[in-house]
Amino acid sequence: MKKEKKMKLSLPEVELMNSGHMACQGCGATLAMRFALKALGQKVALCIPACCWSVIDGPFPYSSLDVPIFHCAFETAAVSASGVKAGLEMVGDKETTVVAWAGDGGTFDIGIQALSGVAERNDDIIYICYDNEAYMNTGIQRSSATPYGAWTTTTPVKHFKNRPKKDMEAIMAAHRIPYIATASIGYPEDLVKKVKKAKEIKGTKFLHIFAPCPPGWKSQPEDTIKLARMAVQNAIFPLYEIEWGEKYTLNIKLKEKKPINDYLKIQGRFRHLTKKEIVFIQEEVDKKWERLLLCVNGSK
């Protein structure tokens, strides 16, 4: 063996998620949790609605996390967190960070009402949506976060999803909350930085984490990180922050924006797409990217 050298770890060493959990091989949602907990530390309470994470954590009487969890109803993540926060404050705990941790379905669809209420009141919680772009817990059905063109079990190949992904950041920005950020498990250092930043801000913070899902996307487990990185590089899922609904900052600037083809190619959920449809998707990605750049440049 070579000379002893110190290992340089780019993330906090603290490990609040344990092995033995129930996630599939190469699960992106699981990495999202592991990274977020590294940033959040021990003084945290999670509210997890129905989603893959209600399975990943493990069945009664076990848990794979070393932090407290309220497994709450599907549509209530945000307001459950508000309730926990209020409850903790009233019993004298003003420090604990309360985090709602929900999937895209629990955020973009069924939980959006409660989330909007929490954001409008600016309740002091962090809301984290890990986005695997479909209802995975129930077996890969479309959500409003499913991208245009994708196959799911309710958008079969012959009738693939023909509406764009809902622009959740824009909806949250319209609530004028102090902090919104997108993050990706492909960029864990950036992700950890954003969670830490959110922890220091009072009010409602919304984080949207891109988290590939091998069974749901029909991708290889070893490609999870690659896919997450590609989606940033081709601007399908750009990394940016919005402060008070107005100030946009791009975190990962793209010297050269990659085409989307390679990204689509390694996912079975897009395999049916024709050239024409891919061109259409590319145009939509380009337009959305331009709109984002306008917001970013307008903030300067």
- CA distances (Å), 6 to each of 3, 9, 38, 227, in order? 10, 9, 21, 30
**Cis ω for the linkage preceding 61 (within 30 of 0):** yes
Residue 105 binds ligand TPP, judged by CB under 6 A: yes
| Residue 51 touches which member of other proteins, ligand SF4, ligand TPP, none, C-beta under 5-8 Å by kind | ligand TPP
Placement of tokens 């599939």 in the chain: 24
- CA distances (Å), 186 to each of 65, 212, 223, in order? 22, 10, 11
Placement of tokens 């019993």 in the chain: 91
Residue 238 binds Mg ion, judged by CB under 5 A: no
Judged by beta carbon, residue 44 or residue 50, the one nearer ligand TPP is: 50
Residue 27 binds ligand SF4, judged by CB under 6 A: yes
Interface with Mg ion in residues 239-278 (CB under 5 A): none
Q: Per the structure block, which two tokens stand in for 239? A: 């990394």
- Region of 110-118, 127-135, 144-152, 168-176 interacting with other proteins (CB under 8 A): 110-118
- CA distances (Å), 167 to each of 82, 126, 236, in order? 24, 19, 12
Q: How many residues does the chain have?
A: 300
Binding-residue pattern over the window 95 to 134 for Mg ion, x denoting contact by CB under 5 A = --------xx---------------------------x--
Interface with ligand TPP in residues 69-88 (CB under 6 A): 74-75
Interacting residues toward ligand SF4 by CB under 6 A: 23-24, 27, 29, 52, 56, 132, 136, 213-216
Interacting residues toward Mg ion by CB under 5 A: 103-104, 132, 136
